[in-house]
Amino acid sequence: SQQGEEDPQALSIQEGENATMNCSYKTSINNLQWYRQNSGRGLVHLILIRSNEREKHSGRLRVTLDTSKKSSSLLITASRAADTASYFCATDGIQGAQKLVFGQGTRLTINP
């Protein structure tokens, strides 16, 4: 399976601190995506990074991708209480994006 695995499973930090979550996967990919899920809701797309990219930014989000290590990291800077959610990485295979496979997620709690 090419399933991504997030690390840590849970993370609790103070508001204003930076939060870093990691994702590892097993097979070659076309792209890697990060999603956020608030409690009781569906997932929301955050950012997509392609296999030929090493870093991407979107607002307070910074994503890195290291294809040699088959890993990615999501950094949220200057965290806010509203960032409290679960974060998932998702990967597709070289055969196409039809089967987007998700990891188990990191539960992030921002304490005020």
26 binds another protein (CB under 8 A): no
Q: How far apart are CA 112 and CA 110, in angstroms?
A: 6
Q: How far apart are CA 58 and CA 56, in angstroms?
A: 7
Residue 61 β-bridge partners:
58, 76
State in angstroms the smallest separation of the CB of 58 from another protein.
12
Closer CB to another protein, 74 or 88, in the complex: 88
DSSP letter for 67, please.
Answer: T
Binding flags for another protein, 30-69, as an x/- string (CB under 8 A): -x-x-x----xxxxxx--x---------------------
Smallest CA-to-CA distance from 16 within 97, 77, 61, 70 is with: 77
Terminal Cα-to-Cα distance of the chain (whole angstroms): 38
Closer CB to another protein, 78 or 100, in the complex: 100
Residues 70-99 contacting another protein, CB under 8 A: 88, 90, 92, 97-99
Contacting positions for another protein (CB under 8 A): 1, 3, 31, 33, 35, 40-45, 48, 88, 90, 92, 97-105
